[in-house]
Amino acid sequence: MGDKNATLSVGGNSYELPVFEGSVGPDVIDIRKLYGQSKMFTYDPGYTSTASCESALTYIDGEEGVLLHRGYPIGQLAESSNFTEVSYLLLNGELPDKETLDKFNWTISRHTMLHEQLIQFYRGFRRDAHPMAIMCGVVGALSAFYHDSTDISDPEHRRISSHRLIAKMPTIAAMAYKYSIGQPFLYPDNSLSYTGNFMRMTFGVPAEPYELHPAVERAMDRIFILHADHEQNASTSTVRLAGSSGANPFACIAAGIACLWGPAHGGANEAALNMLREIGTPDKIPHYIERAKDKNDPFRLMGFGHRVYKNYDPRATVMQKTVREVFDALKVDDPLFETALRLEELALHDDYFVEKKLFPNVDFYSGIILSAIGFPTTMFTALFALARTVGWVAQWNEMISDPGQKIGRPRQLYTGPTQRDYVPVENR
C-alpha cells in the first residue's frame, strides 16, 4: 500500500482520502472515514467502482482479458494443472509439491460421502425440482449435520468445513441429477479422480461398471478449473456478505448458490444454450442480433458481455478449444456449435457489440460442451456451483482470517417520504 492521497472537494470543504496501491491493477481510494468527516456516503449501485475488500486470490484485467489465480494465468492452469491442484492453490496461496498434493487429494477423498440421513432430504423434493433448488437446500442443511466444523473462529474448523464442502459438492450435484431422472444414487468411488468420481456418480448405474472416457474427464476437469474462482462477482460477494455476520460456512455457500442461480450470473450457460437452440440455424442469427440491439426488446445475447471483461473472456478461449476436443473424443457433432461460431463472428463485427465491448464470456460455449457430454441444461448451473465452491470457501476463509474483518453493512441514498404522521383508516 502506498502513501498517496486523493482530495475530495464538496461545497467549499475538502477531504483528504488515502489511496492504496495493490500489487497490480487500479489504485483504490480509501473512503472508510468519509462519512465520519463529511456526513456523506458514496453512491455506487451495482458496485461498478467499488472495491469491497482486499484480496490476494484472483486478479482480473478486464481491458486486457487477463485472469490470474494467485498470479498464475488461467490458460496455463487449464492446460497443465487439474482442479484439485487449483483448489489447493486457491486455498493456500502456493502450488503444492507432490507429497502435499497427494495428501490434499487423499484428504478431500475422505470427505466425499454424505451423512446417510441427508438422502431423506432428496426424497422430499419433487422429481422435477431444479438441481439448483436442491443444492441450495441440501448445502444449507449440511450445517445441521456437521456441527464439529462450524466454529468459524477456529482455523481447524474452517479448514475441515472447506474440505467438506469441496469434497461433498460432486456427490450433492450428482445426487440432484440422479433424483431428477429416477435412478438410484451412487456412492462415491475414492479410487477415481475428483472429476472422474463425479462423472461416475452422475452417469454410472449400480448395475454395471462405469467406463470413464479420459478425454471427457479431462475436459470436465478443465471446465471446473475455468469456473473455480472469479474475484468479487455477485455470488462470491454474497458469500462474503453472509459470512461477515459470522454465519456458518455451509449457510454462506448456500447463499452463494442462490445468487449464482440467476440468468445474469451462473444461469447464463443454461440461458445461452437455450438461446442457441431457439436461434437454430445460422440464417436466423441476424434477426436475433437485431433483437439484442433493440432497446425496446428485453432480449440479450446470452453468453455475451461481462461486467469486468471488456475484451475476450480468457475462459471463453479455452472453452471454445475444449468444444472441439470433446466433439473429437465423443465423435459427435452439434450443428449448434457452427451457429455459435457464426454468431460470435457476426457480433464481433457489429458496431453495437464493438462499441459496447461485448465479447463472448465463459458461458457462451460451455453449454455446447456440457450438452455433448450428456448433461441436461438444468444441470449446467449446478456444475458451475460445484466448481465455484472452492473459490467461495477460499474467499470466505480469507475474509474470516482477516483480523480487521467487519460485518458488511452498505448504506443508501434514501428517496422515500420524509417523516409524517399516521392517519387512522377512517380519515384517509
Among all residues, which ones are annotated catalytic? 306, 363
For residue 361, state whether it binds ligand CMC (rule: CB under 6 A): yes
Q: Between 225 and 264, how does the x/- string for binding to ligand CMC read (CB under 6 A)?
A: -----x--x------------------------------x
Taking the complex as a whole, the smallest distance from the CB of residue 211 to ligand CMC amounts, in Å, to 32
Taking the complex as a whole, the smallest distance from the CB of residue 315 to ligand CMC amounts, in Å, to 9
For residue 65, state whether it binds ligand CMC (rule: CB under 6 A): no
For residue 344, state whether it binds ligand CMC (rule: CB under 6 A): no
Taking the complex as a whole, the smallest distance from the CB of residue 114 to ligand CMC amounts, in Å, to 27
For residue 275, state whether it binds ligand CMC (rule: CB under 6 A): no
The arrangement of strands across the sheet holding 72-73 comes to 58-61, 66-69, 72-73
Task: Report whether 368 contacts 273 (CB < 8 A).
Answer: yes
Nearer to ligand CMC, 277 or 356 (CB): 356
Task: Report whether 1 contacts 14 (CB < 8 A).
Answer: no
Nearer to ligand CMC, 188 or 360 (CB): 360
C-alpha cell at 194: 475428483
**Which residue of 158, 168, 240, 265 would you call a contact of ligand CMC, by CB under 6 A?**
265
Taking the complex as a whole, the smallest distance from the CB of residue 41 to ligand CMC amounts, in Å, to 21
Q: Residue holding cell 459470512?
A: 243
**CA 354 to chain centroid:** 26
**Which residue of 241, 276, 301, 400 would you call a contact of ligand CMC, by CB under 6 A?**
301
Taking the complex as a whole, the smallest distance from the CB of residue 124 to ligand CMC amounts, in Å, to 29
**Which residue of 159, 213, 307, 310 would you call a contact of ligand CMC, by CB under 6 A?**
307
Total binding residues toward ligand CMC, as defined by CB under 6 A: 20
Taking the complex as a whole, the smallest distance from the CB of residue 352 to ligand CMC amounts, in Å, to 7
For residue 131, state whether it binds ligand CMC (rule: CB under 6 A): no
**Closest-CB residue for ligand CMC?**
305
Of the candidate spans 176-184, 280-288, 304-312, 371-379, the one that interacts with ligand CMC by CB under 6 A turns out to be: 304-312
C-alpha cell at 418: 420524509
Q: Residue holding cell 445426487?
A: 175
**Which residue of 186, 279, 292, 373 would you call a contact of ligand CMC, by CB under 6 A?**
292
Taking the complex as a whole, the smallest distance from the CB of residue 272 to ligand CMC amounts, in Å, to 6
Can you state the angle between helices 155-181 and 194-203, rounded to 10 degrees? 30
Q: Which residues contact 252 (CB under 8 A, 6 or more apart)?
A: 239, 242, 243, 392, 396
Can you state the angle between helices 234-244 and 380-401, rounded to 10 degrees? 40
**Which residue of 204, 243, 303, 391 would you call a contact of ligand CMC, by CB under 6 A?**
303
Of the candidate spans 67-75, 169-177, 244-252, 358-366, the one that interacts with ligand CMC by CB under 6 A turns out to be: 358-366
Q: Whole-angstrom Cα distance, residue 192 to residue 209?
A: 13
Nearer to ligand CMC, 233 or 244 (CB): 233
**Which residue of 107, 183, 210, 300 would you call a contact of ligand CMC, by CB under 6 A?**
300
Nearer to ligand CMC, 166 or 362 (CB): 362
Nearer to ligand CMC, 197 or 361 (CB): 361
For residue 268, state whether it binds ligand CMC (rule: CB under 6 A): yes
By CB under 6 A, the residues from 4 to 33 that bind ligand CMC are none
Q: 10 forms bridges with which residues in the sheet? A: 13
For residue 165, state whether it binds ligand CMC (rule: CB under 6 A): no
For residue 356, state whether it binds ligand CMC (rule: CB under 6 A): yes
Taking the complex as a whole, the smallest distance from the CB of residue 53 to ligand CMC amounts, in Å, to 18
What is the length of the chain?
428
Taking the complex as a whole, the smallest distance from the CB of residue 308 to ligand CMC amounts, in Å, to 8
**Which residue of 266, 314, 367, 391 would you call a contact of ligand CMC, by CB under 6 A?**
266
Q: Residue holding cell 462477482?
A: 233
Residues lying near ligand CMC in the complex (CB under 6 A): 230, 233, 264-266, 268, 292, 300-307, 356, 358, 361-363
